[in-house]
Amino acid sequence: MKPGDLVVRNSYGSDVIFRIEGFRNESAIIKGTDYRLLADSPLDDLSVVENPELTGAAQQVKIKVTQTMERMQQQQLHQQMGWTERQGQGQPTPQSPQSYFEVPGVVLHLDGDANYMKKSMQLYSSMRVPAHGLHVDESRMAEMVYRLLPQIKPDIIVITGHDGVLKHRDQRSEYYNLNGYKNSQNFVNAVQVARDYDKSKDGLVVIAGACQSHYEALLHAGANFASSPGRILIHALDPVYIAIKASYTPFKDTINLPDVINGTISGIDGVGGIETMGRYRVGLPRPKAQMSQNAYHDHQSYNGYNGYNGYNVM
């Protein structure tokens, strides 16, 4: 085995595919390819996966991701068509003076994993969501939230990375103890900073947590959505999916909780939240000049702005 190899853990029923990041003593440091899990494992418990696309676990995840993305695209299309019909318009054209423009909510995404951040930014771009992405170590997230919120002034902030219940902990006694988690305290600190900046849960939508994070503590700190109610592994793109839903839910409507939670890859044990207003608006008529930083987006064409994309803050 060598760094970069794809492996599964035999003792866990080979349910999750990992990539070997390195070695320490007789163990391998492994990171989930689809799930936000960073762990170590004895070498003799690992088996190399030659064709990951052929494994049942990988196929199920791929199908679920595809279904989720298709559903979001259909919802966006129906939303656009519905707004046009309510205004008594025909389908707008680039030449039509009545063509409206979209103002989806702007996302600031802080991620403790550089690879997951890149995947997240690609998804924001494909779904026409204006997003700023930053790779930052979990221990520095509160500091970066404090610095970036006044600069970017997002509508939605995602605070995620790696987390998990620490080994050798009695889950019954440590379940609600923040000291029993790898990074939940860091996420809580960052959420508290965000709420100090904007106390309104409809003014700034906060999405926080990773695999097995302390769900209750994150909600108590002020998050609108958090992981993980069932202390399970969450898919790397679950926080992104919720952010996209918030970005494209009209500001007069609450985000449909059953729809958004059940639409995630991990489901209701992976992510939960509270009633929250959306951050999407439309405007009429379409501006003739390009707005700064592509803040407003003509529904006929989209030029996404991904500020901070690729920056690493460790």
Same domain, 87 and 225: yes
Same domain, 35 and 101: no
Domain count for the chain: 2
Q: Is residue 301 in some structural domain?
A: yes
DSSP labels for 289-314?
SPPGGG-SEETT------TTTTEEE-
Same domain, 162 and 255: yes
Joined together, the tokens standing for residue 115 give: 């690879």
Task: Please report which helix (H) or strand (E) contains residue 136, including its range.
Answer: strand 131-136
Output the domain CATH number for residue 71: 3.40.50.2300
Same domain, 19 and 151: no
For the chain, how many helices (H) and strands (E)?
8, 15
Digit-coded pLDDT (tens) for 217-252: 999 999 999 999 999 999 989 999 999 999 999 999
Digit-coded pLDDT (tens) for 89-127: 555 444 454 577 889 999 999 999 998 999 999 999 988
Digit-coded pLDDT (tens) for 245-258: 999 999 999 999 99
Same domain, 109 and 12: no
- Among 122, 144, 124, residue whose Cα is nearest residue 134: 144
Q: Does the global pTM surpass 0.85?
A: no
Q: Which domain holds residue 126?
A: 62-313
Same domain, 139 and 19: no
Digit-coded pLDDT (tens) for 22-36: 998 889 998 888 888
Q: Is residue 1 in some structural domain?
A: no
Same domain, 250 and 309: yes
Same domain, 66 and 21: no
